[in-house]
């Protein structure tokens, strides 16, 4: 009985001493605002933010909120970053439901010194695959190359256009010179007769 009481009292003292208030922590975020190069629609893009704890107490990020369901945090919560160490917030961005310019915000809630949260953001352009939307040249070719068009009658089909080389202009000039050459020779012959 005496051992049970001592064990119970020591457990209560241990739990009371372990419960510590989280102190506010100063954090340096590496590149909190980012602009990514364009990605193709349907790709899974990884976004990773580095946070550096510059204080003497640990940082606890207890919640990560995003502005879109297509942006999902990969890390188990809470994310703990020890004093004078760096940690990461990893996110997966699924581009399947986005097209064009996209800007997303990420809010990390924790024991930050200046606020209860920090704001991270990134933007990119999501380009649709060529399978779904044709580019200008493909649309123009479809419009102008239907059977019986005046353009096809004048220019011919693609297979009939032939080819050209860099020497084509000089060959034409050579032909013109060759045509002018006999005329000069005839003039010289006439001069000799007189």
Average pLDDT along the chain:
75
Q: Is the dihedral of CA 125, 128, 130, 133 positive or negative?
A: negative
Phi-psi region of 24 (alpha: psi -120 to 50; beta: other; left: phi over 0): beta
DSSP run (H or E) holding 14: helix 2-18
26 vs 111: CA distance, rounded Å: 9
Contact between 91 and 72 under an 8 Å Cβ cutoff? The reply is yes
- pLDDT tens string 164-176: 335 544 555 555 6
- Domain positions in the chain are 21-127
Comparing CA positions, the residue from 66, 61, 63 lying closest to residue 82 is 61
Q: How far is CA 144 from the centre of its chain?
A: 34
Out of 12-21, 41-50, 52-61, least confident range: 12-21
Q: What is the pTM of this model?
A: 0.58
Q: Is 55 exposed, middle or buried (0-12, 13-18, 19+ CB in 10 A)?
A: middle
Q: What percent of the chain has pLDDT over 90?
A: 34
Residues 122-139, mean pLDDT to the nearest whole number? 72
pLDDT of 178 over the 80 cut: no
Quick one: fold of 21-127?
Answer: Immunoglobulin-like (2.60.40)
Residues 37-51, mean pLDDT to the nearest whole number? 86
12 vs 107 pLDDT, higher one: 107
140 vs 134: CA distance, rounded Å: 10
91 vs 121: CA distance, rounded Å: 12
pLDDT of 161 over the 50 cut: no
- pLDDT tens string 89-126: 999 998 888 889 999 999 999 999 989 999 999 888 88
């Amino acid at each position: 009985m005496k051992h049970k009481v001592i064990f119970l009292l020591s457990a209560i003292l241990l739990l009371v001493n372990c419960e510590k208030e989280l102190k506010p922590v100063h954090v340096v975020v590496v590149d909190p605002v980012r602009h990514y190069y364009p990605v193709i629609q349907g790709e899974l893009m990884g976004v990773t933010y580095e946070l550096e704890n510059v204080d003497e107490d640990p940082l606890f990020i207890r919640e990560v909120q995003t502005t879109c369901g297509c942006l999902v945090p990969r890390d188990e919560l809470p994310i703990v970053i020890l004093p004078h160490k760096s940690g990461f917030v990893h996110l997966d961005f699924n581009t399947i439901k986005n097209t064009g310019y996209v800007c997303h915000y990420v809010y990390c809630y924790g024991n930050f010194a200046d606020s209860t949260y920090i704001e991270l953001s990134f933007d990119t352009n999501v380009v649709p695959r060529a399978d779904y939307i044709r580019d200008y040249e493909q649309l123009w070719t479809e419009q102008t190359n239907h059977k019986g068009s005046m353009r096809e009658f004048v220019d011919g089909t693609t297979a009939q256009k032939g080819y050209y080389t860099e020497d084509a202009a000089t060959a034409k000039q050579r032909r013109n010179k060759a045509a002018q050459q006999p005329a000069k020779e005839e003039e010289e012959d006439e001069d000799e007769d007189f």
